[in-house]
Structure 1
C-alpha cells in the first residue's frame, strides 16, 4: 500500500478532443494509476478513481460518505456545506434511505409504463416544434430540453410556463464557472419559486409526485422544498444531455444509426449502449469522502480525503467492455455505471430509459434524412457543468 507521490497532483482532466471523446488523460490514468491524486481548486488534494471495478467498490462501500459537508469538489471552490433538508443525494443513512423510500413508489417500473402514452405525446409535440422551426433547427431547444422539462414539470406539478426561468437558474447554480454571488442569487430565486409551489401543494394537493410526498410522507415545507429542488434539477438536465449527445453519437456513427433505423427492436440495447458511450455524469456527481483510512487499489486513502469516481472512465474500461471506444448498439448488456451504483444509484433511471426509448426512434422516423448542420467540432459543450451535454445541436433533414 502506498500513499500519494510527492510530486504535485494535476487537476481533474476535463479537456476533450471531440465532444464524444472522454477527457484526455483518463484512459492513461485508468491503465497506469486507477487511483490517482488530483488537485482541487480550493487547495485541497483528493483522489480520482478510473477503473470500473474500483468505481463500483467506492460507491458500494459505506466507509465512503455522500455527506455534502465532508466533500471537496474537484472543480469548484465552494466550501463544503451540509445538504439542505430533503436533498438526500448529499446524505448517508439513516436520512438518505428515509427520504429515498418516500419517492421509490413514485418511480416504479409499473408507474413509468403508465406514462408511456403521455411521453409519446410530449415527444410528438417536440418533433412538431422542431419541424416548425425550419432548417437548421437547434435540436437542444426544440427537442432534447423540452421533453424532459415538460415531463418532470408535470410529474412534480410545476407550471411548465416557468421552465425558462428554472433552466437558467439551474445552469448558473451548476456551472463551475459561475461567480459565487451569481450562484447564490440563482439558488435563492429557484428556492423562492419552489417554496411557492410547495405551499400551493400543501393547501391544494393534486395527483403529482410533490403532493404525494408532502402528504403521504408527512414532510415539512423545508424537506419538501429540498426534494422538489433536487428532482427538478436532476429530472431535466440529465435526460436532456442524453437526448442531445445520444443523437449526436448516432449522427456521427451512420452505420449504427442505419442499424437502429432498420430494426427498431434494437432500441433497448441502443439506449444502454448510448448511456455507456456518452456518459453525461461528470464531476461532483460521484464524489465521496472517506470516513476512515481505507485501502483502495493499493493506495491509502486517509480519513477525510475526497474521492471522485469517473463514470466516464469506468464506462470505457477495456477490462469490462470489449473495444470500449467503439459505439455498438448490438453490444450485450454490460456493467455500465451511467446511473451510478449502490445505494445512491439514480432513482429516476427507469423514467430516463423510457424517455430515451420513445424519443430516439420517433426522431428517426420523423426525419429520415436527419444530419448535422455544422461540423462536430463546432458543437459547443457543457464541459464546466456536472452534467455533460451540448449547448446547441444544429441539424437539418
Structure 2
C-alpha cells in the first residue's frame, strides 16, 4: 500500500533575491490548488486560501470566526484553542466585536484623521530636521520610520511617548514568531500591567484622548478594566508596527524603481495604495475558523476547520491585478487591494495609516531628493520571523 502524501507546510520562504515578493509557491497554488491543506507551525492543519476572490469571500463570511486572528497558526508555542480575552477586537465575533468597534471607530473616520494630517506633517518635518542634523549616514528606521507612527498613536490614544522604548520592545516580542511562549506571555503581561496603570490614571485624571474617553465612568455600556487593557493593547501595538514597517519598506522599493519617487510626489494617494498592495506586510495571512459547513471556491470546508486567508497572495492575483508582480502607479482601482483585510474585521486604523504613509513618503523625498541606501542591497536584514514584514534597520545616505 502507498502512504498518503504528507500535508505540505505553510509556505514561508520568499524567492531568493526578491525580498518584496511573497513565497513563489502562492502563484502555483492560485492556478492549481487555490484552497488546499497545509500544516501550520502551531501544529494544526488549515486550508490555505490564495485567490483574491476566495480570500475576500472568506473574510466577508460571518460564519468564519476570527477567534484565531492573533495569528496563532505561525507560533509553534501557541494554543489554537486558548480562551479569547474580553476586549480582543481582532478575535471576537458578532455583537461582541461590533460593540468594541463602535467604541473606537469614530476616532479613525476619514474626517477625524484628516484633521490630524497637519500634526503628522509637522512630525515628518521635525524628524527630517533631526535626521539631517545627525548627518549621513543614518538609520531611517530609528530616525524616521518608527518614531512617526509611534508618536501619532501615542498622541491619539493618550500614551506618554516617553514610554515608547518599553512598549516598542514588548510589542516586538509579541509579534515575533521566534519568541518562546514564556517570552511572549511575559511581554504581554508587562504591557498589560502598564496599560492597567495608565487606564487607572485616566479614570482619575481624564484628558482629551481615546483612552480617557474609553475609560470614562459616565460612558454608555462601560468597559471593564480587562476589556480596556486588551483593547488598548491591540490599538497600541497595531498602531505603530504596521505603518513603521511600511514606511521603511516603501522607501527601499521607491529607491529601486526609477521614476517612482516622482510618482509619489505627484499622486501620493494613488502611490500609497499601490505600495500597500505590492508589499502586503501582514506576511502570514489572516486566520479564520469555520463555524458552519461552507464552500470556498470549489472546495468544501467543514465546521471546525481552520483557514488561512493569504492577503499577500490575493494582492498578487493576476486575474485581478494585471502584471501583479510589478509596481505600477498607473494601475486602475488601486484601493481594491486587501492589505487592510476585508469584511467586519477590516483594519480600523487604515485611514490613519494612509495619511501617515502619504505624509512620510512625500516629505522624505521632497526634503531629501538624493536619498540612497548606504549599504549593498544584500546586506539589508529583513524581518522574516515577525507577523509584520519589514526591515530591522535601513542605513541611508545623501549629499
TM above 0.5 = yes
Task: Give aligned pairs, total.
Answer: 389
Q: TM-score, normalised by structure 2?
A: 0.94
Match for residue 177 of structure 2? 176
Is 2:253 the counterpart of 1:255? no
User: What residue in structure 2 maps to residue 331 of structure 1?
Assistant: 331
CA distance in 2, matches of 1:187, 1:63: 29
**2:107 equivalent to 1:109:** no
1:308-319 equivalent positions in 2, closer than 5 A: 308-319=308-319
Query: Is the 2:70–2:91 contact (alpha carbons within 8 Å) kept by the matching residues of 1?
Result: no
- Work out the CA distance in 2 between the residues paired with 1:58 and 1:178: 29
* Residue aligning to 2:239: 235
1:230 aligns to what SS in structure 2?
Answer: helix
Q: 1:72 Cα shift?
A: 5.3
Please name the residue that 1:345 is paired with.
Answer: 346
Counterparts of residues 1-397 of structure 1 (less than 5 Å)? 6-16=4-14, 17=16, 18-68=18-68, 73-80=73-80, 81-215=82-216, 216-217=219-220, 218-260=222-264, 264-283=265-284, 286-334=286-334, 335-397=336-398
Q: How many angstroms does 1:255 deviate by?
A: 2.4
Residues in 1 aligned to 2:295 and 2:181: alpha-carbon distance in whole angstroms: 35
**In 2, Cα distance between the equivalents of 1:69 and 1:165?**
24
User: Is contact 1:123-1:359 (8 Å) kept?
Assistant: yes
Deviation at 1:78, TM superposition (A): 0.7
Residues 280, 315 of structure 2: 8 Å contact kept: yes
Contact 1:172 1:183 in 2 (8 A): yes
Structure 1 unaligned blocks of 5 or more = none
Would the alpha carbon gap of residues 33 and 69 (structure 1) be closer, same or farther in structure 2, given more than 3 Å must change? closer
Q: CA deviation at 1:323?
A: 0.6
Runs of 4+ in structure 1 over 6 Å off: none
Residues 69 and 287, structure 2, Cα contact 8 Å, conserved in 1: no
SS where residue 11 of structure 1 aligns?
coil
Q: Is the 8 A contact 2:374 2:397 kept in 1?
A: yes
Instruction: State TM-score, norm by structure 1.
Output: 0.94
SS at match of 1:307: strand
| Superimposed CA distance per residue, residues 72-124 of structure 1 (whole angstroms, 9 cap, x where no aligned partner) | 51443310223321111101011000110011111111111111111111111
Q: 1: CA distance between counterparts of 2:289 and 2:125?
A: 44
In 1, the alpha carbon distance for the partners of 2:378 and 2:206 equals 48
1:14-34 deviations in whole A, cap 9, x for unaligned?
212222121231111112111
**RMSD of aligned alpha carbons:** 1.7
- Could you tell me how far apart the structure 2 residues matched to 1:69 and 1:273 are? 25
On the 8 A contact 2:293/2:303 being kept in 1, the answer is yes
Q: Distance in 1 between matches of 2:119 and 2:75?
A: 38
1:36 match: secondary structure? strand
